[in-house]
Amino acid sequence: MRAVVVKEWTAPEALTVGDMDAPPMIENGVRIAIHCAGVNFADGLMVQGKYQEKPPFPFAPGLEVAGEVTEVAPGVSHVSVGDRVMAVVDRGGFAEEVVAHAPDVIRIPDDMDFATAAAFPVAYGTSQFALADRAKLKKGEVLVVHGAAGGVGLTAVECGKALGATVIATAGGPEKLAVAKEHGADYGIDYKTESIKDRVRELTGGRGADVIYDPVGGDVFEQSLRATAPDGRLIVIGFAGGTVQQIPANILLVKNVDVIGFYWGAYRKLGPERIHKSFAQCLRWYEDGLLKPRVSHRFPLEDAGKAILALKDRSVTGKAIVTVR
């Protein structure tokens, strides 16, 4: 089958399409003919050997897919051959087919196309679980979302509104802030021209934010701590800014602030029932019109490296996808 084949750690721009053996069926598995695959920041880390999970060579990157079921293992009953599905996989999404674990495969709603479905699982799954389960965001609280026009950031804006929060979006430039506001943000802060700490305090009457959602890290982290309300929660999603920050513990002590780490992928193994509950809520919100997935960039399989670089240079608003067929 055609796939983006990684034979050694490499830069995203060096990725090429080659031939790879189709994956074997596994116990409790579902084989999917892939139409589209979502592109995530983790894909760029994985091909360079910088991701927390390092697959053996050769492998194809790609953590979320949408397509049609072509085979199911004995005992799998919730999906059938011919069903349109989305799935989360450990790797292998940038290819013509993949075998996913059955619990990670979900039927696509009738009104959702493959491109939208490929952009859905990781970003919405991350944001809903992070905000509702880990950060315990409540109706009426104030949520700050960094990187609010990006893949997970934009979904956090929508999930925050669905949970009843007032949402303050931060992003670089008026165009990206406009995207965040289109998806429900109440206020916007341009981090290129404004102080995040000062503006959050201004917008909250000096109190600060109850929850700050941070997929960026780096320089904004300490500003976030200083913009958090007493008893607030700062949830660390990732380090898209490229720097893993050090946490000044004195600020945590003085302000009674919680810093919460969150790696969504771990819960697929550690707490799958919580993941399923979270994802079911995402689908209900989608069907109620509260979630509106945005795909701003589409790339053919041959340009998967360019898709990863588009995320890195922050030209993507919402999600980028790779089209396979």
pLDDT digits (tens, 9 = 90+) for 12-26: 999 999 999 999 999
Q: Residue 247 — very low, low, confident or very high, per pLDDT cuts 50/70/90?
A: confident
Could you tell me if residue 267 is inside a domain?
Answer: no
Q: What are phi and psi of 201, to 5 degrees?
A: -60, -40
Residue that the structure tokens 């920050």 belong to: 245
Could you tell me if residue 158 is inside a domain?
Answer: yes
Could you tell me if residue 108 is inside a domain?
Answer: yes
Residues 42 and 20 in one domain: yes
Distance CA 317, CA 119 (A): 12
pLDDT at 269: 82
Could you tell me if residue 254 is inside a domain?
Answer: yes
Q: Residue 270 — very low, low, confident or very high, per pLDDT cuts 50/70/90?
A: confident
Helices of type H across 41-173:
41-48, 114-118, 121-128, 151-162
Q: What percent of the chain has pLDDT over 90?
A: 88
pLDDT digits (tens, 9 = 90+) for 58-99: 999 999 999 999 999 999 999 999 999 999 999 999 999 999
Token duo for residue 87: 């799935």
Distance CA 25, CA 9 (A): 26
Distance CA 96, CA 17 (A): 11
Could you tell me if residue 279 is inside a domain?
Answer: no
Is the full-model pTM beyond 0.85? yes
Residues 115 and 165 in one domain: no
User: Total domain count for the chain?
Assistant: 2
Residues 222 and 304 in one domain: no
Contact of 30 with 56, CB cutoff 8 Å = no
pLDDT digits (tens, 9 = 90+) for 93-129: 999 999 999 999 999 999 999 999 999 999 999 999 9
pLDDT digits (tens, 9 = 90+) for 201-246: 999 999 999 999 999 988 888 889 999 999 999 999 988 766 777 8
112: domain CATH number is: 3.90.180.10
Burial of 109 (0-12, 13-18, 19+ CB in 10 A): middle
In total, the chain counts a number of residues equal to 325
pLDDT digits (tens, 9 = 90+) for 139-195: 999 999 999 999 999 999 999 999 999 999 999 999 999 999 999 999 999 999 999
User: Which one, of 35, 116, 23, lies nearest residue 68 by Cα?
Assistant: 35
Distances (CA, A) of 84 to 27, 251, 295: 21, 49, 19
pLDDT above 90 (res 298): yes
pLDDT above 90 (res 28): yes
**Residue ending a domain, choose from 261, 285, 312:** 261
Q: What is the SS3 string spanning 140-174?
A: CCEEEECCCCCHHHHHHHHHHHHCCCEEEEEECCH
Average pLDDT over residues 38-48: 96
**Residue ending a domain, choose from 261, 283, 313:** 261
175: domain CATH number is: 3.40.50.720
Residues 195 and 253 in one domain: yes
Residues 151 and 94 in one domain: no
Residues 181 and 101 in one domain: no
Residues 314 and 256 in one domain: no
Distance CA 129, CA 172 (A): 26
Residues 142 and 256 in one domain: yes
Distance CA 201, CA 190 (A): 15
Could you tell me if residue 280 is inside a domain?
Answer: no
Residues 140 and 253 in one domain: yes
Q: What are phi and psi of 261, to 5 degrees?
A: -85, 145
Domain that holds residue 207: 135-261
Could you tell me if residue 171 is inside a domain?
Answer: yes
Residues 28 and 105 in one domain: yes
Residues 229 and 115 in one domain: no
Could you tell me if residue 220 is inside a domain?
Answer: yes
Residues 8 and 103 in one domain: yes
**Core vs surface per residue 48-66: b (16+ CB within 10 A) or e:** eeebeeeeeeebbbbbbbb
